[in-house]
Amino acid sequence: MLNFLKTYQQELLITFIALVLLFIFQSLLKSFTTKAGNKASINIARIHLVMRYINALFIMVAVFIIAMVWGANVNQIVLIFSSVFTVIGIGLFAIWSILSNVTSGVIMFFSFPYKIGDKIKIHDKDFPIEAIIEDIKAFQLHLRTTEGELITYPNNLILQKPVSLVEKDAVMDDGVSNL
C-alpha cells in the first residue's frame, strides 16, 4: 500500500485537487441555480431536476479529468466519449422529441415568465387553450381548463406558440380556482 502511495503520489494529489475543485464549482453552480429558482418562484421539483442535469455534467467532466491525470491517451478518451455520444445521439434521434422537451424544460426553468397557478392562453389556430398551469414537468406542462379537463402540453410547443397571461395566480392557496 505504501509503495502504491509513493509511486502514484503525484497522480493521487492531482486527482484529489481536481475533485475538490470540481465539487466546489458544482456546489457554486447548484447554489446559483437554487437562488435563481427561488427568486423566480420556481417549483422545488424543477430545481431538483436541473440539479440532476448539473450532476450528470460534472460526473462526465470528472471522469474525463481523472482519465487524463492517470495517463490515458487523449485520443483514446476522445474516441470513447465520441463513441458513447454517437450511440446516445443515434438513440435520441429516434426519440428527438423527448430531448427537445427536456431542453425546453431547462430553458423554461430560467426564462419562462409564467408560474404554477397562472391562467394562460395558448394562441394556436388549430387548438387554442385557455387554462391554469397546474404543474411544470421535465417533458410537459399540466394545464387545467375551466371545465376541469387536464391537458398535458409539450414543453417544446409552449416555446413555439404565442402565450398570453390571462390572470396571475388564478388558483387560491386551498387549490380552488378563482375562476
* pLDDT per position as a tens digit, 31-65: 998 898 888 888 888 888 888 888 888 888 898 88
Res 179 pLDDT > 60: no
Q: Is 52 exposed, middle or buried (0-12, 13-18, 19+ CB in 10 A)?
A: exposed
Q: 118, 135 in Cβ contact below 8 A?
A: no
Domain boundaries, the chain: 2-94, 113-167
Q: Which three cell numbers stand for residue 36?
A: 435563481
The CB density around residue 133, as the number of other CB atoms within 10 Å, is 21
CA–CA distance, 112 with 163 (Å, rounded to integer):
11
- The CATH number of domain 113-167 is 2.40.50.140: no
Average pLDDT, the chain: 84
Q: For the chain, what percent of residues have pLDDT higher than 90?
A: 26
Residue 11 or 177, more confident: 11
The pLDDT assigned to 94 comes to 62
The pLDDT assigned to 57 comes to 85
Q: Encode pLDDT of 157-171 as tens digits.
A: 888 999 999 988 776
Q: Encode pLDDT of 125-135 as tens digits.
A: 888 999 999 98
Q: 132, 170 in Cβ contact below 8 A?
A: yes
